[in-house]
Structure 1
Amino acid sequence: MNIAAPDRREKKHLVAFWLSMMLVWVLLNASLSWQVVLAGAIVATLLVFIFPAHGFLFAGTRFTPQTPLLVLGYLWLFTRELVKSNLDVARRVIAPEVRINPGIVEIKTRLQHPTYRLILANSITLTPGTLTVDMIEDSLFIHWIDVTGKDVESATREISARFEHYLIQLSQG
Protein backbone atom coordinates (compact mmCIF):
# COMPACT_ATOMS: atom_id res chain seq x y z
CA MET A 1 0.00 0.00 0.00
CA ASN A 2 1.40 3.34 -1.07
CA ILE A 3 0.67 6.15 1.38
CA ALA A 4 1.61 9.49 -0.10
CA ALA A 5 2.38 12.48 2.04
CA PRO A 6 -0.51 14.93 2.16
CA ASP A 7 -0.18 17.87 -0.20
CA ARG A 8 -0.46 21.48 0.94
CA ARG A 9 -4.23 21.67 0.40
CA GLU A 10 -4.86 18.46 2.37
CA LYS A 11 -2.67 19.76 5.19
CA LYS A 12 -4.74 22.95 5.35
CA HIS A 13 -7.92 20.87 5.56
CA LEU A 14 -6.48 18.69 8.31
CA VAL A 15 -5.41 21.78 10.27
CA ALA A 16 -8.88 23.30 9.78
CA PHE A 17 -10.45 20.00 10.90
CA TRP A 18 -8.22 19.92 13.99
CA LEU A 19 -9.04 23.55 14.85
CA SER A 20 -12.75 22.90 14.34
CA MET A 21 -12.64 19.92 16.68
CA MET A 22 -10.77 21.99 19.27
CA LEU A 23 -13.34 24.76 19.02
CA VAL A 24 -16.23 22.32 19.46
CA TRP A 25 -14.43 20.70 22.41
CA VAL A 26 -13.83 24.02 24.17
CA LEU A 27 -17.39 25.21 23.51
CA LEU A 28 -18.89 21.97 24.82
CA ASN A 29 -16.70 22.07 27.93
CA ALA A 30 -17.12 25.83 28.45
CA SER A 31 -13.64 26.05 29.87
CA LEU A 32 -10.15 27.11 28.86
CA SER A 33 -8.37 25.36 31.72
CA TRP A 34 -5.15 23.68 30.68
CA GLN A 35 -6.61 20.23 31.44
CA VAL A 36 -9.59 20.77 29.12
CA VAL A 37 -7.42 22.24 26.35
CA LEU A 38 -4.89 19.39 26.64
CA ALA A 39 -7.60 16.73 26.56
CA GLY A 40 -9.19 18.50 23.56
CA ALA A 41 -5.87 18.61 21.75
CA ILE A 42 -5.40 14.89 22.29
CA VAL A 43 -8.93 14.05 21.15
CA ALA A 44 -8.70 16.36 18.11
CA THR A 45 -5.34 14.85 17.13
CA LEU A 46 -6.74 11.33 17.41
CA LEU A 47 -9.71 12.33 15.25
CA VAL A 48 -7.39 13.76 12.58
CA PHE A 49 -5.45 10.48 12.49
CA ILE A 50 -8.54 8.26 12.62
CA PHE A 51 -10.54 10.13 9.97
CA PRO A 52 -8.00 11.74 7.61
CA ALA A 53 -9.80 10.63 4.44
CA HIS A 54 -13.01 12.27 5.59
CA GLY A 55 -11.00 15.19 6.84
CA PHE A 56 -13.01 18.28 6.88
CA LEU A 57 -16.72 18.53 6.21
CA PHE A 58 -16.29 21.96 4.74
CA ALA A 59 -13.58 21.03 2.26
CA GLY A 60 -15.53 23.04 -0.32
CA THR A 61 -15.03 26.21 1.74
CA ARG A 62 -12.17 28.56 1.16
CA PHE A 63 -11.52 30.37 4.40
CA THR A 64 -11.08 34.09 3.78
CA PRO A 65 -11.37 37.14 6.03
CA GLN A 66 -14.95 37.44 4.75
CA THR A 67 -15.94 33.91 5.91
CA PRO A 68 -16.81 34.79 9.54
CA LEU A 69 -18.99 37.69 8.33
CA LEU A 70 -20.79 35.38 5.90
CA VAL A 71 -21.39 32.82 8.67
CA LEU A 72 -22.75 35.55 10.97
CA GLY A 73 -24.92 36.85 8.13
CA TYR A 74 -26.27 33.37 7.51
CA LEU A 75 -27.00 32.85 11.21
CA TRP A 76 -28.78 36.23 11.36
CA LEU A 77 -30.84 35.35 8.28
CA PHE A 78 -31.69 31.92 9.66
CA THR A 79 -32.77 33.41 12.99
CA ARG A 80 -34.92 36.01 11.24
CA GLU A 81 -36.57 33.37 9.00
CA LEU A 82 -37.09 31.12 12.03
CA VAL A 83 -38.94 33.87 13.92
CA LYS A 84 -41.02 34.83 10.85
CA SER A 85 -42.04 31.24 10.15
CA ASN A 86 -42.87 30.60 13.82
CA LEU A 87 -45.13 33.64 13.86
CA ASP A 88 -46.77 32.56 10.58
CA VAL A 89 -47.50 29.05 11.86
CA ALA A 90 -48.73 30.42 15.20
CA ARG A 91 -51.07 32.81 13.35
CA ARG A 92 -52.43 29.89 11.31
CA VAL A 93 -53.00 27.83 14.46
CA ILE A 94 -54.78 30.61 16.34
CA ALA A 95 -56.95 31.74 13.40
CA PRO A 96 -60.62 30.68 13.63
CA GLU A 97 -60.55 29.08 10.19
CA VAL A 98 -57.75 26.79 9.08
CA ARG A 99 -55.79 28.42 6.27
CA ILE A 100 -53.43 25.75 5.10
CA ASN A 101 -52.93 24.11 1.77
CA PRO A 102 -50.22 21.52 2.43
CA GLY A 103 -48.32 19.84 -0.35
CA ILE A 104 -44.92 18.89 -1.66
CA VAL A 105 -43.00 21.25 -3.93
CA GLU A 106 -39.74 20.80 -5.77
CA ILE A 107 -37.02 23.42 -5.49
CA LYS A 108 -33.75 23.55 -7.40
CA THR A 109 -30.47 24.39 -5.73
CA ARG A 110 -27.33 25.79 -7.31
CA LEU A 111 -25.18 24.43 -4.48
CA GLN A 112 -22.60 21.91 -5.66
CA HIS A 113 -21.00 20.70 -2.42
CA PRO A 114 -23.01 18.04 -0.53
CA THR A 115 -22.31 19.63 2.86
CA TYR A 116 -23.87 22.90 1.76
CA ARG A 117 -26.86 21.10 0.29
CA LEU A 118 -27.31 19.40 3.65
CA ILE A 119 -27.08 22.73 5.49
CA LEU A 120 -29.73 24.14 3.15
CA ALA A 121 -32.02 21.12 3.63
CA ASN A 122 -31.65 21.29 7.42
CA SER A 123 -32.23 25.06 7.49
CA ILE A 124 -35.45 24.56 5.53
CA THR A 125 -36.55 21.73 7.82
CA LEU A 126 -35.83 23.70 10.99
CA THR A 127 -38.11 26.56 9.96
CA PRO A 128 -41.74 25.76 10.87
CA GLY A 129 -44.08 25.21 7.94
CA THR A 130 -41.49 23.47 5.77
CA LEU A 131 -39.91 20.04 5.88
CA THR A 132 -37.30 18.62 3.51
CA VAL A 133 -38.61 15.22 2.44
CA ASP A 134 -36.01 14.16 -0.13
CA MET A 135 -32.90 15.33 -1.96
CA ILE A 136 -32.18 14.08 -5.47
CA GLU A 137 -29.19 15.68 -7.20
CA ASP A 138 -29.96 19.41 -7.42
CA SER A 139 -33.63 19.04 -6.41
CA LEU A 140 -35.03 19.22 -2.90
CA PHE A 141 -38.58 18.10 -2.25
CA ILE A 142 -40.20 20.19 0.46
CA HIS A 143 -43.46 19.60 2.32
CA TRP A 144 -44.87 23.09 2.62
CA ILE A 145 -47.76 24.28 4.76
CA ASP A 146 -49.22 26.59 2.10
CA VAL A 147 -48.80 25.50 -1.51
CA THR A 148 -50.96 27.45 -3.89
CA GLY A 149 -49.93 26.47 -7.40
CA LYS A 150 -46.27 27.22 -6.91
CA ASP A 151 -43.96 26.39 -9.81
CA VAL A 152 -40.35 25.31 -9.22
CA GLU A 153 -38.90 28.80 -9.72
CA SER A 154 -41.28 30.61 -7.37
CA ALA A 155 -41.04 27.87 -4.73
CA THR A 156 -37.24 28.04 -4.93
CA ARG A 157 -37.34 31.82 -4.60
CA GLU A 158 -39.71 31.75 -1.61
CA ILE A 159 -38.14 28.85 0.30
CA SER A 160 -34.41 28.67 -0.36
CA ALA A 161 -33.06 31.64 -2.34
CA ARG A 162 -32.15 33.72 0.72
CA PHE A 163 -30.32 30.80 2.35
CA GLU A 164 -28.55 29.90 -0.90
CA HIS A 165 -27.22 33.43 -1.31
CA TYR A 166 -24.95 33.01 1.73
CA LEU A 167 -24.17 29.34 1.19
CA ILE A 168 -22.98 29.92 -2.38
CA GLN A 169 -20.67 32.69 -1.20
CA LEU A 170 -19.32 30.45 1.57
CA SER A 171 -18.68 27.56 -0.79
CA GLN A 172 -16.85 29.74 -3.30
CA GLY A 173 -14.77 31.63 -0.77
Structure 2
Amino acid sequence: MSLSTFFVTYFTWILLTGYSNVSELIVGFFVSLVISMIFKKYYGIKFDKLFLVRFVKFVLIYLPVFIWEMIKANFDVAVRVLNPKLPINPGFVKLNTNLTKDSSKFALANSITLTPGTLTLDVKEDVLYVHWIDVKTTEEGEKKKYISEKFEKILKGVFE
Protein backbone atom coordinates (compact mmCIF):
# COMPACT_ATOMS: atom_id res chain seq x y z
CA MET A 1 0.00 0.00 0.00
CA SER A 2 1.22 3.45 -0.84
CA LEU A 3 0.83 5.72 2.15
CA SER A 4 0.70 8.85 0.04
CA THR A 5 -2.05 7.38 -2.18
CA PHE A 6 -4.02 6.50 0.95
CA PHE A 7 -3.75 10.03 2.35
CA VAL A 8 -4.71 11.69 -0.94
CA THR A 9 -7.69 9.35 -1.34
CA TYR A 10 -8.81 9.77 2.25
CA PHE A 11 -8.44 13.57 2.11
CA THR A 12 -10.49 13.60 -1.10
CA TRP A 13 -13.14 11.44 0.57
CA ILE A 14 -13.37 13.86 3.48
CA LEU A 15 -13.64 16.86 1.14
CA LEU A 16 -16.37 15.25 -0.95
CA THR A 17 -18.48 13.75 1.84
CA GLY A 18 -17.84 16.09 4.73
CA TYR A 19 -16.70 15.04 8.14
CA SER A 20 -19.82 15.56 10.20
CA ASN A 21 -20.38 11.89 10.91
CA VAL A 22 -17.88 9.49 12.48
CA SER A 23 -19.28 6.55 10.51
CA GLU A 24 -18.52 8.38 7.23
CA LEU A 25 -14.93 8.89 8.35
CA ILE A 26 -14.61 5.18 9.18
CA VAL A 27 -16.11 4.09 5.86
CA GLY A 28 -13.87 6.56 4.05
CA PHE A 29 -10.86 5.17 5.86
CA PHE A 30 -11.56 1.63 4.69
CA VAL A 31 -12.52 2.68 1.15
CA SER A 32 -9.30 4.70 0.89
CA LEU A 33 -7.33 1.75 2.21
CA VAL A 34 -8.76 -0.60 -0.43
CA ILE A 35 -8.30 1.94 -3.23
CA SER A 36 -4.68 2.59 -2.26
CA MET A 37 -3.99 -1.17 -2.30
CA ILE A 38 -5.56 -1.48 -5.76
CA PHE A 39 -3.57 1.49 -7.06
CA LYS A 40 -0.37 0.07 -5.64
CA LYS A 41 -0.95 -3.28 -7.31
CA TYR A 42 -2.25 -2.24 -10.72
CA TYR A 43 -1.10 1.30 -11.42
CA GLY A 44 2.33 2.87 -11.47
CA ILE A 45 1.16 6.16 -9.99
CA LYS A 46 3.76 7.51 -7.63
CA PHE A 47 3.60 10.54 -5.43
CA ASP A 48 7.22 11.57 -5.80
CA LYS A 49 8.91 14.97 -5.72
CA LEU A 50 7.64 15.79 -9.24
CA PHE A 51 4.01 14.96 -8.43
CA LEU A 52 3.12 18.57 -7.67
CA VAL A 53 4.69 19.79 -10.92
CA ARG A 54 2.81 17.14 -12.93
CA PHE A 55 -0.42 17.97 -11.10
CA VAL A 56 -0.05 21.68 -11.88
CA LYS A 57 0.65 20.85 -15.55
CA PHE A 58 -2.49 18.73 -15.62
CA VAL A 59 -4.71 21.36 -14.02
CA LEU A 60 -3.31 24.52 -15.60
CA ILE A 61 -2.32 23.25 -19.04
CA TYR A 62 -4.12 20.02 -19.88
CA LEU A 63 -7.59 20.74 -18.50
CA PRO A 64 -8.00 24.08 -20.34
CA VAL A 65 -6.83 22.48 -23.61
CA PHE A 66 -9.16 19.51 -23.08
CA ILE A 67 -12.13 21.74 -22.23
CA TRP A 68 -11.48 23.95 -25.28
CA GLU A 69 -11.23 20.93 -27.59
CA MET A 70 -14.41 19.50 -26.07
CA ILE A 71 -16.29 22.78 -26.65
CA LYS A 72 -15.13 22.92 -30.28
CA ALA A 73 -16.12 19.29 -30.86
CA ASN A 74 -19.53 19.85 -29.24
CA PHE A 75 -20.24 22.71 -31.62
CA ASP A 76 -19.05 20.65 -34.59
CA VAL A 77 -21.34 17.73 -33.72
CA ALA A 78 -24.26 20.08 -32.93
CA VAL A 79 -23.90 21.76 -36.34
CA ARG A 80 -23.87 18.34 -38.02
CA VAL A 81 -27.01 17.30 -36.14
CA LEU A 82 -28.87 20.54 -36.85
CA ASN A 83 -27.82 20.61 -40.52
CA PRO A 84 -28.11 17.06 -41.88
CA LYS A 85 -26.98 18.26 -45.32
CA LEU A 86 -23.42 18.62 -44.04
CA PRO A 87 -21.39 15.72 -45.35
CA ILE A 88 -20.03 13.27 -42.84
CA ASN A 89 -17.58 10.53 -43.47
CA PRO A 90 -17.70 8.19 -40.45
CA GLY A 91 -15.06 5.54 -40.13
CA PHE A 92 -12.47 3.79 -38.04
CA VAL A 93 -8.91 5.02 -37.83
CA LYS A 94 -5.80 3.57 -36.27
CA LEU A 95 -3.65 6.00 -34.29
CA ASN A 96 -0.12 5.25 -33.19
CA THR A 97 0.90 6.84 -29.91
CA ASN A 98 4.29 7.69 -28.48
CA LEU A 99 3.03 7.31 -24.92
CA THR A 100 4.56 4.40 -23.05
CA LYS A 101 2.78 4.19 -19.70
CA ASP A 102 -0.63 2.59 -19.36
CA SER A 103 -1.90 5.49 -17.29
CA SER A 104 -1.02 8.01 -20.02
CA LYS A 105 -2.60 5.83 -22.73
CA PHE A 106 -5.68 5.49 -20.53
CA ALA A 107 -5.93 9.28 -20.13
CA LEU A 108 -5.44 9.78 -23.88
CA ALA A 109 -8.10 7.21 -24.77
CA ASN A 110 -10.57 8.77 -22.35
CA SER A 111 -9.80 12.27 -23.63
CA ILE A 112 -10.53 11.16 -27.18
CA THR A 113 -13.73 9.41 -26.11
CA LEU A 114 -14.97 12.37 -24.06
CA THR A 115 -14.52 14.66 -27.05
CA PRO A 116 -17.73 14.42 -29.14
CA GLY A 117 -17.28 13.02 -32.61
CA THR A 118 -14.63 10.49 -31.61
CA LEU A 119 -14.79 7.25 -29.67
CA THR A 120 -11.81 5.13 -28.65
CA LEU A 121 -12.75 1.51 -29.21
CA ASP A 122 -9.58 -0.30 -28.25
CA VAL A 123 -6.00 0.23 -27.15
CA LYS A 124 -3.43 -2.40 -28.06
CA GLU A 125 0.14 -1.69 -27.13
CA ASP A 126 0.97 1.60 -28.91
CA VAL A 127 -2.12 1.73 -31.12
CA LEU A 128 -5.52 3.29 -30.45
CA TYR A 129 -8.51 2.33 -32.59
CA VAL A 130 -10.89 5.27 -32.88
CA HIS A 131 -14.26 5.78 -34.51
CA TRP A 132 -14.31 9.26 -36.05
CA ILE A 133 -17.52 10.97 -37.13
CA ASP A 134 -15.82 12.70 -40.06
CA VAL A 135 -12.64 11.04 -41.30
CA LYS A 136 -10.80 13.93 -42.89
CA THR A 137 -7.64 12.00 -43.75
CA THR A 138 -6.02 8.60 -43.42
CA GLU A 139 -2.45 9.92 -43.31
CA GLU A 140 -0.89 9.12 -39.93
CA GLY A 141 0.46 12.58 -39.10
CA GLU A 142 -2.72 14.32 -40.17
CA LYS A 143 -4.97 11.93 -38.19
CA LYS A 144 -2.96 12.63 -35.05
CA LYS A 145 -3.16 16.38 -35.71
CA TYR A 146 -6.95 16.26 -35.78
CA ILE A 147 -7.59 13.74 -32.99
CA SER A 148 -4.84 13.25 -30.44
CA GLU A 149 -1.76 15.42 -30.94
CA LYS A 150 -2.70 18.22 -28.52
CA PHE A 151 -3.65 15.78 -25.80
CA GLU A 152 -0.67 13.50 -26.30
CA LYS A 153 1.99 16.21 -26.01
CA ILE A 154 0.65 17.44 -22.68
CA LEU A 155 -0.10 13.98 -21.27
CA LYS A 156 3.48 12.92 -21.98
CA GLY A 157 4.68 15.72 -19.71
CA VAL A 158 2.14 14.87 -17.04
CA PHE A 159 2.38 11.08 -16.83
CA GLU A 160 5.78 10.19 -18.20
Cα offset for 1:155?
0.4
Aligned position for 2:87: 99
Q: 1:105 to 1:70 in 2, by over 3 A?
A: same
The whole-number CA distance in structure 1 between the counterparts of 2:64 and 2:108 is 15
TM-score, L = length of structure 1: 0.78
Aligned position for 2:96: 108
Aligned position for 1:41: 29
The whole-number CA distance in structure 1 between the counterparts of 2:57 and 2:39 is 27
Cα offset for 1:71?
1.4
TM-score, L = length of structure 2: 0.83
Instruction: State the one-letter code of the partner of 1:40.
Output: G
Pick aligned residue for 1:89 from 77, 81, 86: 77
Larger radius of gyration: 1
Aligned position for 1:146: 134
Number of residue pairs aligned between Structure 1 and Structure 2: 158
Cα offset for 1:142?
0.9
Cα offset for 1:98?
3.3
Larger helix share, 1 or 2: 2
The answer to whether the Cα contact below 8 Å between 1:60 and 1:171 also exists between their aligned partners in 2 is no
The whole-number CA distance in structure 2 between the counterparts of 1:26 and 1:60 is 19
Aligned position for 2:147: 159
Q: CA RMSD in A?
A: 2.6
The whole-number CA distance in structure 1 between the counterparts of 2:105 and 2:127 is 10
Cα offset for 1:116?
1.1
Pick aligned residue for 1:21 from 9, 22, 25: 9
Q: 1:41 to 1:63 in 2, by over 3 A?
A: farther
The whole-number CA distance in structure 2 between the counterparts of 1:168 and 1:83 is 23
1:37-76, aligned counterparts within 5 Å?
37=25, 39-48=27-36, 50-51=37-38, 53-54=40-41, 56=43, 58-59=45-46, 63-72=50-59, 73-76=61-64
Aligned position for 1:4: none
Cα offset for 1:18?
0.6
Segments of structure 1 that go 5 or more residues without pairing to the other structure are 1-10
Q: 1:60 to 1:45 in 2, by over 3 A?
A: closer
Moved more, 147-156 or 85-94: 147-156
Q: 1:56 to 1:103 in 2, by over 3 A?
A: closer
The answer to whether the Cα contact below 8 Å between 1:132 and 1:143 also exists between their aligned partners in 2 is yes
